Structure 1
Amino acid sequence: MKWTGPDGFEADDSTELVDVDVVHGFLSTSYWAEGIPREVVARSIAGSLNLGVYGADGAMVAFARMVTDRATFAWLADVFVVPEQRGHGLGRFVVSTLLEHPDLKGVRRVMLATADAHELYRSYGFGDLEDPSRMMIIRRDAAELYGTA
């Protein structure tokens, strides 16, 4: 499915169009996935509902994905705009388009984690967990999993 965005950019949910090298290049230096191997990024894309944003030349300039069962739960992840294309409203475009995706109609719970964009995500309706003590996590060390530092 395709959507028209600002300044002639276009969003597409086709996994086949996602440039894994662009996604890996960004994520491997991000605070949330530093050092992640390319093959792990490729698997994460294969198992998710993805939205890439592309310029007129077809180059991918923004990305976001939902880890979801498409029925009850979704986790918004890996949202980014490449630095040289920031300032066109593409971050808002990719998030709002993915949140409104037809495959997510009726999903009761959408979650995300962020270290620095709380107010941005509040503008979409995200809020603090009512009872964070109900949430649990298994955390595995990236160095152990991927053999990275």
Structure 2
Amino acid sequence: MSSYHKPREWRTTISDQEYLISTDLNNISHDFVNNAYSSDDMYWAKAMPPAILRNMLSNSLVMGVYAVQPPFPPSKTADEPSSPDTPSPTLEDPSFYFSNEFQGNGAGAEKLEQVGFARFVTDHVTVFYLTDVYVAPEARGKGLGKWLISCCREILDSKPHLMRAMLMASPGEGKDFYEKNLGMRDMQEEAAEGHILAMTRKRNQ
């Protein structure tokens, strides 16, 4: 069983739309992830049975990207006065509507529409392998991918005992993107210096 790690989150606003990146697994839409895995954009992946997907996600550091819809106030019952004589101190407190305890469901909750994610395979201390970076087609062109990677970099930079971070990228544009935004380096350059030999094994076909 994976150890508990307090969720982290980042927020930004783009063209009057608020977006959230969160590592809270409770917010992840398994349907969204499986639909992404089934798309041509993620040619290296495939959809998984629910139990297998749940096991994989629970043993990863997953960063979900969400479009945030504003919270809505609780509806009033027919016999409830429209203007109480003594206002409730709970309802007067704005944090009641924005509390993390109410995210996701019910009155006063933010509605999160997932539009992307990235996944670290990691021990949370020394090794981080970044994979499955994805932004839905309708959410592209807004800078969300670059923002997601900057949050990934913040996580890596916060690990004092980090030994190695890794990923697999396409040559050319992909390589340049991760060099610039994540500080990654082509392993072949390290290999040419005689420092490392990168080895891998693909799944059986």
- What TM-score do the two structures reach when normalised by structure 2? 0.62
Q: Which of 24, 27, 30 lines up with 1:17 in the alignment?
A: 27
1:125 alignment counterpart:
183
2:12 alignment counterpart:
5
**Distance in 1 between residues matched to 2:117 and 2:19, nearest whole Å:** 12
Larger radius of gyration: 2
**CA 1:92–1:38 in structure 2 vs 1: closer, same or farther (change >3 Å)?**
farther
Query: Which range moves more in the overlay, 94-103 or 48-57?
Result: 94-103
Task: Confirm whether residue 73 of structure 1 aligns to residue 127 of structure 2.
Answer: yes
> Secondary structure of the equivalent of 1:51?
strand
Q: CA shift at 1:5, angstroms?
A: 2.1
**Cα RMSD after superposing both structures:** 2.1
1:85 alignment counterpart:
139
> Secondary structure of the equivalent of 1:52?
strand
Q: Is the 8 A contact 1:21 1:38 kept in 2?
A: no
Q: Is the 8 A contact 1:6 1:89 kept in 2?
A: no
Q: Which of 35, 52, 69 lines up with 2:64 in the alignment?
A: 52
Q: CA shift at 1:102, angstroms?
A: 7.4
**Distance in 2 between residues matched to 1:112 and 1:102, nearest whole Å:** 13
Deviating runs (4+, > 4 A) in structure 1? none
> Secondary structure of the equivalent of 1:137?
coil
Q: Is the 8 A contact 1:48 1:67 kept in 2?
A: yes
> Secondary structure of the equivalent of 1:41?
helix
**Distance in 1 between residues matched to 2:141 and 2:113, nearest whole Å:** 17
**CA 1:84–1:38 in structure 2 vs 1: closer, same or farther (change >3 Å)?**
farther
Number of residue pairs the alignment of both structures matches: 141
Cα-to-partner distance string for 1:44-85 (whole Å, 9 max, x where unaligned): 211111111111231111101111111211000100100000
Which structure 2 residue ranges, 5 or more long, are not aligned? 1-7, 70-111
